[in-house]
Structure 1
Amino acid sequence: MADVQLEHGYTKIANEILERMALTKLSPTQFRLIFVIWRYTYGFNRKDHEMSLSFLAEATGVHKQRVKQELDKLIESNIIIVTEEGTFSKSRKLAFNKDYDTWRLQSTKESTVSEIAYTTVSKNADTTVSEIADTTVSEFAYQEIKNINKNLKKNNDDDDIGDDNMAHDAFRLIADKYIQRREKGLSLSPKDEAAIEKLLQEQIPLDGVLKLIDEVFDEYQPKFNGDEIHSFEYVRKVLLSKYHEQKEGEGTDGGTIRKHRRGISRPSAEGGKTYEQILREAEAARRAWGWKG
């Protein structure tokens, strides 16, 4: 039985918006996209957020090409707004336009035809969408790691540039890993977010953090039926304990770790893992949005 409680997180949506949405003719995929955009904007008490097509595809379970088509329609309709264009290393920022008087909606006939077409195509597509998704789902994890590595390389030339972006990407990967291993819900509580921020202040390489999160969950022993990990603060404390135990066991021959403002360390040329190794560890993030395989 699903344990759905407000204390596990919730998204504030004005009743007037919900009532308007119930009267709005949109395709099933467009509704899914709006739900995800609400979740990662209003759900975190923010107006906009970076969201790539790969991210939206995983969050909705819809193929990326279809996501692009339907998202473009939402943007053309002025229901979704691009608040900041994307760059080579960052996804564009999206926001929901709550001023529904400015929406440019399709006619009822056009929407109905679109929905019928989508439903018809889905009968064939749904049988293979999981197979397609499984072959492309790693693109999300790869892109996240790729973006972080670009920032790492950039910071080698200028330590003051890109720290905030790097911390933001690291926060998102850690959050995804935690949600994936928790296997319940897609939300983070304010306390979970604060605990991740605290962890980011530590001098632990990102690939090490992701690996240690797996270890914390793998080694957790429930004391009774239903006992489980309920907070990232618990994960943070156990993770730090395990990390320092491992460091003490390794001795001091591994070289020094260069410190940074936000506590994110760069992998060394000798001891750091390759991008491929990091990618394999982050591959589990493909299930972070509730996919159970």
Structure 2
Amino acid sequence: MADIQLENGYIRIATELMNEIIRRDFSKRQLAIIHFIIRLSYGCHQKDCVIDKFVLFEIAGVNKVDVKKELKFLKECGVINWEEKNMIFSINKDYEKWQITPSKGYDKEKLDQLIHQNLKKKVSKTLTNSDEEVSKTLTDLENIVSKTLTELGEKVSKTLTLELVKHLLELFGNAWESKDESTLKDSIIDIYLKIKDKDDDKMPPKNYFAEYENAFGYPPALLISDFEYWIDSEESQFTEPEEIIIEVIHRAKKQLPRNPAKYVAKILKDLHNMELYTLEAVKAYNKKFDEKFAKGGAEDGKKIHQYRRSISRPTKQSGKSITGGQVGRLGKRKSV
């Protein structure tokens, strides 16, 4: 496909002169000569051109036998200027001196209508393209402004991040100490601690399921059902069920029960029965228990059960049992 671009050259000629060429009844050979001269003069951004041999007009499709005759005719009719000695040619722009009859079908009004019709089409297309370009430009500007503001916001928000302060402490800590600039270093440490506290506050809540799995392995289906009950059931009065479950799991890790799932399920039930519905209440209860346990537990060597209201009874020996073991909640064993 041909690549036609104005950058590769163009002919600058007045439309009025072109209209006159259209209006006159030139022969095919005469038009070929006129176009050839226009190309070599106006097409080279000059008023005239040099064609030093008649045979060169064959390039435009005019036989060398007819060239001289047609050139003399065009010169006599005032259409072209021809310096025969130097073979210099140009178009006579004073078309009123052209002695060429008009074409029979020429109609100036129709030509003007066609010109205006095409000019109107060009204006309409230009306005449409301008509107689209303006709209696109505004959209692009809005996107650029929005993106710039977003990037600036992110950049500003990241200026005093925890990682940056850590980097500064690691990078310049020793240098500041050697220069006794403790005040400057302390200020950076203060910033670090403040940002760390804020980052800790923004940490996502821990997952009770993952907490149990990390401590005791994958929870059994029955315990998962209990968790869902305390979290979703309308009968559950826990205001922070997930946090309370995590707190209970942490307490269970310290006790290392034989059956963690059963232990955790029972503690949750006991807490609910004791109307400890908030995490704060649960932690306060646990703290009180820990303080009491640290002081030596119950009196008279009695054992303390954390999630019971009363103190457990001491066990006694049974002479009638097979093993002579304890008689507890399961009752006596049958004798042989």
Q: TM-score, normalised by structure 2?
A: 0.29
Higher Cα radius of gyration: 2
Q: TM-score, normalised by structure 1?
A: 0.33
Structure of higher RCO (CA pairs closer than 8 Å, 6+ residues apart): 1
